[in-house]
Structure 1
Amino acid sequence: MNEATKGVQRIASVIRVRPEKLEEYKRLHAQPWPAVLERLRASNIGNYSIFLHGDLLFSYFEYRGTDYAADMDRIAEDPITREWWKLTDACQERLPGTPDGSQWTEIPSVFFME
């Protein structure tokens, strides 16, 4: 069964964390703002995790909606999320090749087992 059949899109992405900001990034994510989490849930995002490997942050989430672009726009337009991003973006460094307008670099899926 593929992702479209199941109604789930699995999204993975990566970004570099600035070494001098690592502890701040961890502190922020130890207590994420409830309104940011509510906005993610309202935009059909679930099973969201961020992992750290060296200086790389690896993000994974599942999207269970029907209009990914519109839901991502709603997240980006949310004033509280934008304030959160001001704090977290300062801790991050975009990787070479990240598309304009994106903070994280999406990673294509090459294998999935259910």
Structure 2
Amino acid sequence: MRRYCLTCDLKDQPELIKKYKWYHEEGNLWPRIKETIKEAGVLDMQIYLFGNRMFMIMDVSDSFSFEKQAEINQDLKVQGWEELMWGFQQPVPGAKPGEKWVLMEKIFQLPD
């Protein structure tokens, strides 16, 4: 198992943030989105929010790759979801043009 941590910002508008959180509550996430996340090899995914800054933790299987995830994301339902979510999101400083979630660098781990 591997872990990836990513970050993305939401537009700093309280009503948009509230609606974004609603879409991610139990029962509001589109079923196909959950399916494709698992198809890509994601075992667990968590998103945390502070202000408008998000932090995502993904625990993935050995079969996971970002390339495989990109292929699966060509699904029309996923494309619709991504377009909808981009209405709430904005790139973090330093992101490449069009880049949403940016991979973070691990700089510390508590030794055993």
- Structure 2 length-normalised TM: 0.84
Q: Give the equivalent residue in structure 2 for 1:25.
A: 20
**Contact 2:42-2:64 within 8 A present in 1 as well:** no
Identity of aligned residues (%): 20
**Contact 1:43-1:65 within 8 A present in 2 as well:** no
* Aligned pair partner of 1:60 in 57, 60, 64: 57
**Contact 2:45-2:59 within 8 A present in 1 as well:** yes
Matches within 5 A, 1:1-114: 8-20=1-13, 21-30=16-25, 31-66=28-63, 68-112=65-109
Q: Give the equivalent residue in structure 2 for 1:5.
A: none
Cα-to-partner distance string for 1:23-63 (whole Å, 9 max, x where unaligned): 11011111211111001101101210110011101111112
Q: CA deviation at 1:66?
A: 2.9
- Structure 1 length-normalised TM: 0.82
CA distance 1:69–1:54, change in 2 (3 Å): closer
Structure 2 residue ranges without an equivalent (≥5)? none
> How many matched pairs?
107
Task: Report the RMSD for the aligned CA atoms in angstroms.
Answer: 1.8
Q: CA deviation at 1:101?
A: 4.7
CA distance 1:66–1:95, change in 2 (3 Å): same
**Contact 2:40-2:64 within 8 A present in 1 as well:** no
